[in-house]
Amino acid sequence: MASKLLRQTLTKTNRSAAIRCFSTAASVASPSEYEYPTGITMKGVKISGRPLYLDMQATTPVDPRVLDSMLPFYLSRYGNPHSRTHLYGWESETAVETARAQVAALIGASPKEIVFTSGATESNNISIKGVMHFYKDKKRHIITTQTEHKCVLDSCRHLQQEGFEVTYLPVGSDGLIDLDRLGKEIRSDTGLVSVMAVNNEIGVVQPIEEIGKICKEFNVPFHTDAAQALGKIKVDVEKWNVSLMSLSGHKIYGPKGVGALYLRRRPRIRVEPQMNGGGQERGIRSGTVPTPLVVGMGAACELAMKEMEYDENRIKGLQERLLNGIREKIDGVVVNGSMDRRYVGNLNLSFAYVEGESLLMGLKEVAVSSGSACTSASLEPSYVLRALGVDEDMAHTSIRFGIGRFTTEEEIDRAVELTVKQVEKLREMSPLYEMVKEGIDIKQIQWAQH
């Protein structure tokens, strides 16, 4: 459906335009259109052409239909939505309110409960710091998990420096929290519980509805970072009983630089603004609302609402094709996180007896990552995998494959081929793998130190 539309859009472009085109799964449909005669060299790495894109948790390509909705607000309807004295401002304001309703509809909220922000990171900061600062006289304790996105963890550490107390809940080997443990950790001065809906690194879906019930029972506000959940799994703020929810545009085939914060009206939750200015967005997030970006996010939400079921079924088939294709050819492949409670577009795999950095560099024809895009510059093993109890050597070899709306079967097959080839190549050079094949238990070996 959407992939056909994108393919048609791409094939209409001329050769010079095609070179500047999106890096999406649809690009494999017509290889001759995307050939680079001399290859591409960037950051010291040379490859024959644009790599296959399988990093959908980092960001998604903008759906062409989303782009179509945005363009008029760059070219002709460019008014400031806060200008109340002329047509340009009125039509921009109308477009913003339409987008607000589109976002609200996808999560079962009222448009009056949606505040536009620059992205999920800002929404998380407003939620965590804003709530705790507003209720600081009576509430000094916050609960979150060890596997949250870095911006949530850093916001909590910032609060700790201000004298607030933070409880970081551990997770099991499947990545899920213990609900009984959560209930026991709630105190009379607990001001907020913050748990991510879908984990960005391992795709695990937390039992958000059950968490919401516990928070309601103890009358504690509940915040969830739903950047990876929006448009991918069914989100219902009433069923989930969330007080605040962070959303992102560029994770659902919308533009970068825009997000939203759901802020419950009844019972009302209050936050202290983190930015001062003109009082836009009910004073919660000052600054001119970027009409084209907001329109794009609204359109992306509307498309997700219509196509979520279709996308999920298709992506599930591609995920199974990828996992089965790899496991049929090599052993020692471990899926990180629960397979039962998992978003189908995320597949985080560890490959035994392989050095992770070498594996990533060897897969330069496939755009994948070893974890969150916000922490991938670090050579340390993923803190999320360490929280699951994954051994350090296996945590170092993890690869996150992100599958999305525009991914094709051809891309999956090519990714399987390249991954298997690189793992086999690295294992041929690994003395540990040779020892394992000979039946030696390397964990029982006492290595001599020199």
CA dihedral 84, 88, 90, 93 (to 10 degrees): -100
Strand order in the sheet with 244-248: 114-117, 259-263, 244-248, 222-225, 190-194, 141-145, 165-169
d(CA 143, CA 182): 8
CB–CB of 258/119 below 8 Å? yes
Angle, CA of 280, 283 and 289, to the nearest 5°: 25
Q: Which residue has 């029972």 as its token pair?
A: 217
Question: Which residues are 167's β-sheet partners?
Answer: 143
Q: Which residue has 């459906």 as its token pair?
A: 1
Catalytic residue among 21, 156, 215, 374: 374
d(CA 3, CA 135): 47
d(CA 347, CA 306): 24
DSSP string, 282-311: GGTS-S---HHHHHHHHHHHHHHHHHHHHH
Give just the sign of the alpha carbon dihedral 382, 388, 389, 391.
Answer: negative
CB–CB of 168/145 below 8 Å? yes
Q: Is 374 a catalytic residue?
A: yes
CB–CB of 112/265 below 8 Å? yes
Q: Which residue has 């399988």 as its token pair?
A: 54
d(CA 284, CA 123): 10
Q: Which residue has 């089965």 as its token pair?
A: 324
**Tokens found for residue 172:** 């099991």
The dihedral region occupied by 332, where left means phi > 0, alpha psi between -120 and 50, and beta the remainder, is: left
Strand order in the sheet with 346-351: 333-335, 346-351, 398-402
Residues annotated catalytic, as ranges: 374
